[in-house]
Structure 1
Amino acid sequence: MSTFSFHANKAVTTGEGGSASTNDAELAATMRLLVNHGMTPEEPYVHRILGRKFRMTNLVAAVGVGQVQRWDDLVAARLRVSERYRELLPDACSGPACAPWARRSCWLHTIRVPRRTAVVDRLRGAGIDARPIWPALDRQPVLAHVSGNFPVAHAIAGAAMWLPTYGQLRDDKIQYIAEHVTAAVTDVGPGEALSHA
């Protein structure tokens, strides 16, 4: 099964929501039940399983279809922003690997910085919507029962942050953000060099 988020900050958006796809007929039937209160069209108001109301409206679907038709342009616009960050932040590493059969895309440009909280605070003080990435999954209360040692996940979750990455971000704004990232990293003190995650 593949899942897709259509949240407002995604390249293809319907404002909120998402979709799932599968080539497994049984799984597809279960998903259809789940999104429609556990009912089938053949037996309305008979709940075969405990479902929810996850149906997408036709209006929202039309917005999504319009976005999908612009896929190449939307992805290219975000890649332009990401590549510009790489140019303006020259101490960055080469970036994420991409399989030979795949094409790179960018949701949010991610960097790792020393003393991330201080860097994020400095950027927000300059009017830049920088955000720390999510905590490692085993640090989420719902997964508190998971045991194990995940040093890489913890290191990334503690140092990585997102920079504004929407397709219409103007070059002068990207320049402004990059300058403030460099200044913030310099000012907060010693640590690892800036790198793109």
Structure 2
Amino acid sequence: MIKMPFIPVSQPFIGERAKELVNECLDTGWISSQGTYVGLFEREFAKYVGASFAISVTSGTAALHLALMALEVGPGDEVIVPDLTFAATANAVLLCGARPVLCAVESATWTMDLRDCESLISPKTKAIIPVHLYGNPVDMNALLKLAESREIAIIEDCAESLGATLNEEHMGTFGTVGCYSFFANKLLSTGEGGMLTTNDAQLADRIRVLRDHGMSPEKRYWHEFAGLNYRMTNIQAAIGVAQLELLDEFTSLRTHQELLYKDLLSGVEGIIFKKEVDGAKPVNWLMSLRLVSTDESKNIKTLHQWLRENNVDSRPFFFPLHEQPPYFDNREALKSTNILSQSGLSLPTFIGLKDEQIEQICQLITRFMTTNI
């Protein structure tokens, strides 16, 4: 039997249009943050998601950090963060000197448990960061009801959910600020990079100043605040402009991939997919599933190894934050996250992945689950 070529979990797509715009940047010499593509990318991105303002930055982590800084989150404040997320969500809180308070995650949706979230709100709670994990929207309408009566800011972590909607409104436009990542494995990629969105003009201005060393836009080299250099380059923005032109096509293709995976695996006992809240339209950032089997030999670790042996890459879910040293928390309600984390796996999902490859991957998973390997 001939092994099929290695299939990675993700693979960035650049395209000829992006190369054209990058070459234009190189030809004109405008390669730093002063070029015209930065502003164009911000305007077109804001239009795409339906936000009043968009501010480009160096990464999704920088977006979260700036959002917290602009909202004056600092020592003595608490920010509620889901227990199952990439560490950047909690790290941004710690970098502001505030305390991340870990919230339980629902086993069905894989997103923030709003009942637990409500129980964690205290007089010190300055913000809540819902994460639309693996492209699945949080029930933002319910969360906003919790926050608005208490005047708590909502910072949406949309690193994995660009293009996802709830009642036809884009994620990142419900809260006070939306934060996006353009890392290489995201639906839209600039290599590294990120974006903030908001409908608050004063907040947008403050974010821009903080992004540029805290320097006054009216008086050069005069600093109103202690800021940072989180500016996106013109080259990155040029790639972003080109990718934004294709984003609907990317989203449609990834949706097709998810539906094909689900169709081929839906009858396999022990395979569970994420549940969507009413009115949600997720995006397929990474095709992810849970494996729940009474057979102890059928677990995520052995499935991951089986796929690897057959030249297919896969990725386990994030470790719960509460188990990791910087965020350790032994609260009983968080223990359920361990079960979710240990049963989750992400499969290959990228532009260029062929239907035949998805069929081969699903055949391998079906064989693993239904026979003695």
TM-score normalised to structure 1 length: 0.83
Q: CA deviation at 1:184?
A: 3.0
1:193 aligned residue: none
Q: Is 1:96 the equivalent of 2:275?
A: yes
* Cα distance between partner residues in 2 of 1:49 and 1:104: 38
- Whether the 8 Å contact between 1:38 and 1:52 is mirrored in structure 2 is yes
Q: CA deviation at 1:103?
A: 2.8
1:132 aligned residue: 316
- SS where residue 19 of structure 1 aligns? strand
Amino acid at match of 1:97: E
Correspondences of 1:19-168 after superposition (within 5 Å): 19-89=195-265, 90-91=267-268, 92-93=271-272, 95-100=274-279, 102-113=280-291, 114-145=298-329, 147-168=331-352
Amino acid at match of 2:290: R
Q: CA deviation at 1:163?
A: 0.2
Q: CA deviation at 1:30?
A: 3.3
Amino acid at match of 1:43: K
Amino acid at match of 2:234: N
* Cα distance between partner residues in 2 of 1:5 and 1:121: 29
* Cα distance between partner residues in 2 of 1:25 and 1:12: 25
Count of aligned pairs between the two proteins: 188
Q: Is 1:174 the equivalent of 2:174?
A: no
- Whether the 8 Å contact between 1:77 and 1:168 is mirrored in structure 2 is no
1:17 aligned residue: 193
Q: Residues 97 and 61 of structure 1: is their aligned pair in 2 closer, same or farther, counting only changes over 3 Å?
A: same
Q: CA deviation at 1:27?
A: 3.0
Q: CA deviation at 1:156?
A: 1.1
* Cα distance between partner residues in 2 of 1:30 and 1:58: 21
**1:132-166, Cα deviation, whole Å (9 max, x unpaired):** 01112222332125745223322111110100111
Q: CA deviation at 1:186?
A: 4.3
Q: CA deviation at 1:59?
A: 2.0
- Whether the 8 Å contact between 1:111 and 1:162 is mirrored in structure 2 is yes
Structure 1 unmatched runs, 5+: 190-197
Higher strand share: 2
**1:20-64, Cα deviation, whole Å (9 max, x unpaired):** 111233432332233222223323333433332211112211211
**1:56-99, Cα deviation, whole Å (9 max, x unpaired):** 11221121122222222110110111111111112345653153
**1:99-149, Cα deviation, whole Å (9 max, x unpaired):** 32x433210011112521121122122211100011122223321257452
* Cα distance between partner residues in 2 of 1:36 and 1:188: 59
- SS where residue 281 of structure 2 aligns? coil
* Cα distance between partner residues in 2 of 1:145 and 1:181: 35
Amino acid at match of 1:137: L
TM-score normalised to structure 2 length: 0.46
- Whether the 8 Å contact between 1:118 and 1:188 is mirrored in structure 2 is no
Structure 2 unmatched runs, 5+: 1-176, 292-297
- More deviation, 32-41/102-111: 32-41
Q: Residues 94 and 143 of structure 1: is their aligned pair in 2 closer, same or farther, counting only changes over 3 Å?
A: closer
- Whether the 8 Å contact between 2:323 and 2:329 is mirrored in structure 1 is no
* Cα distance between partner residues in 1 of 2:331 and 2:274: 31
